[in-house]
Amino acid sequence: MFINATRGLIAATVLGVSAVAAQAQDFTPENPECIAPANPGGGWDFTCRQVGKELQDLGLIDKTMQVVNVAGGGGGVAFAEVVNKRADDNDLIVAASSATATRLAQGAYPGNTTDQVRWVASIGADYGVIAVSADSEIETLPQLLDMIKADPRSVSVAGGSAVGGWDHLKVLIAASAYGVEDVRKVKYVAFDGGGEAVTQLLAGSVQAFTGDASEAKGFVDSGDIKVIAVLAPERLEGDFADFPTAKEQGVDAIGANWRGFYAPAGMSDAAYDAWAAKIGELYASDEWQEIMANNGLAPLDLQGAEFEQFVTDSVSEIQNISREIGIIK
């Protein structure tokens, strides 16, 4: 009796939570497919595979999600393929992140724009950090930015993305929020991935590191690097709770590397709503919260129209900074 009642209660709660979603659940993708716009092993590949596995484990899709790697052009090849060849595919979602938005904003996907696809949902965000090596004299973000202000040549900042990429923009957002006048003078050195950049920080080749919280996690745990600012609206949970945000140090800068999905523009509304609801439900599950915690992902819970708005806003923000530093005209 008691057990049955509890079960009923749980079922009711679940139903209640997903009441909005329930209408959209009529649609179930027949052959769910996720395009990872990069080679196996990267963040986009991870996004597709983890989400595909969890959606199936939670029973939100019947069949195994097929993951297809369409590498090339920093995601541009996949974007062009979705726009040109798969425009009305209801079974398809594509992994995306801030990098996608950055490239769209800077026109790095020739001829493609944000509104050529439908933005489905986010699955979390990786907030930016600025770090120095553990034995550095620099203790706070303003201290670092003062040094840059006084002599931009004295500080090299290393990051894992190309010039104009997201890691670079994060430093510039912080520098410009602090009142560094010509952000173009900030010396940024591009490495192949955050891991290599941290290694060079430890080797002493560069003075500061800009990257995502998840990239820095292992080195923070081991005490090799010191995070001087987290570019989040408020302090992160867990291991990063000790580190101050840029905001509390008087630098109003936020940099979130979000992860999420887009879908073809011609996807039917029913399918679009269903995908958004399914990923929303996945996001709310305990399993996903655990995956987020393990991978250093912070909350960012947006679906459907809200997410669409979020992406559009962040694209125009990136466009403004890029124009300021002369990456685009």
Partner 1 sequence: MDVLANLGDGFAVAFTLQNLGLALLGCFLGTIMGALPGLGPSNGVAILIPLAFTLGLGPTPSLILLTSVYYGAMYGGRISSILLGIPGDEPAMMTVLDGHPMAKKGMAGEALSLSGIASFVGAFIATWGLILLAPQLVKIALLFGPAEYFALFALAFATLGGVSSTNQAKSAFAAMLGLGLAMIGVDTQTGVPRFTFGEVHLYDGLDFLVAIVGLFALSEVFIFLEHRHGGSDANSGQLKLGRLTPPLSMIKQCTPTMLRTSILGFIAGVLPGAGASLGSFISYSMEKRLVDKEGTFGKGDPRGVAAPEAGNNAAAGGALVPMLALGVPGSGTTAVLLAVLLSLNITPGPLLFAQNPDVVWGLIAALFIANFMLLALNIPMVGIFTRVLMVPPRILMPIVAMVSFVGIYGISGSSFDLLVMIGFGVMGWALRKLDVPLVPIILGTLLGNTMENNLRRAITIDNGDWFTLVDSPLALTLWAIAIIGFVMPLIVGRLVRSKMHERGDEEGSITD
Half-sphere exposure in the Cβ direction for 65 (13 Å, CA) = 29
Tokens linked to 37? 């716009």
Considering the complex, state which of residue 189 and residue 254 has its C-beta at the smaller distance from partner 1: 189
- Residue pointed to by tokens 């950049």: 197
Tokens linked to 219? 């080195």
Considering the complex, state which of residue 207 and residue 314 has its C-beta at the smaller distance from partner 1: 207
- End-to-end, the C-alpha distance of the chain in Å comes to 69
**DSSP 8-class letter at 245:** B
Considering the complex, state which of residue 38 and residue 277 has its C-beta at the smaller distance from partner 1: 38
Nearest-approach distance from CB 224 to partner 1, in angstroms: 6
Nearest-approach distance from CB 214 to partner 1, in angstroms: 9
Considering the complex, state which of residue 28 and residue 66 has its C-beta at the smaller distance from partner 1: 66
3-class DSSP state for residue 113?
Answer: coil
Rounded Cα–Cα distance for residues 97 and 196 (Å): 21
Considering the complex, state which of residue 18 and residue 200 has its C-beta at the smaller distance from partner 1: 200
Nearest-approach distance from CB 189 to partner 1, in angstroms: 5
**Are 296 and 220 contacting, i.e. CB atoms less than 8 angstroms apart?**
no
**Are 214 and 183 contacting, i.e. CB atoms less than 8 angstroms apart?**
no
Considering the complex, state which of residue 109 and residue 307 has its C-beta at the smaller distance from partner 1: 109
Supply φ then ψ for residue 35, to 5 degrees: -90, 125
3-class DSSP state for residue 34?
Answer: strand
Half-sphere exposure in the Cβ direction for 220 (13 Å, CA) = 23
Nearest-approach distance from CB 284 to partner 1, in angstroms: 20
Nearest-approach distance from CB 258 to partner 1, in angstroms: 18
Considering the complex, state which of residue 81 and residue 273 has its C-beta at the smaller distance from partner 1: 81
**Are 311 and 228 contacting, i.e. CB atoms less than 8 angstroms apart?**
no
Tokens linked to 60? 């939100």
Tell me whether residue 199 is exposed, middle or buried, using C-beta atoms within 10 angstroms of its C-beta: 0 to 12, 13 to 18, 19 or more: middle
Binding stretches for partner 1 (CB under 8 A): 39-42, 45-46, 49-50, 53, 64, 67-74, 76-77, 80, 106, 108-110, 153, 156, 162-165, 187, 189-193, 195-196, 198-200, 202-206, 217-219, 221-222, 224, 294-295, 327
Considering the complex, state which of residue 192 and residue 252 has its C-beta at the smaller distance from partner 1: 192
The β-bridge partners of 303 are: 121
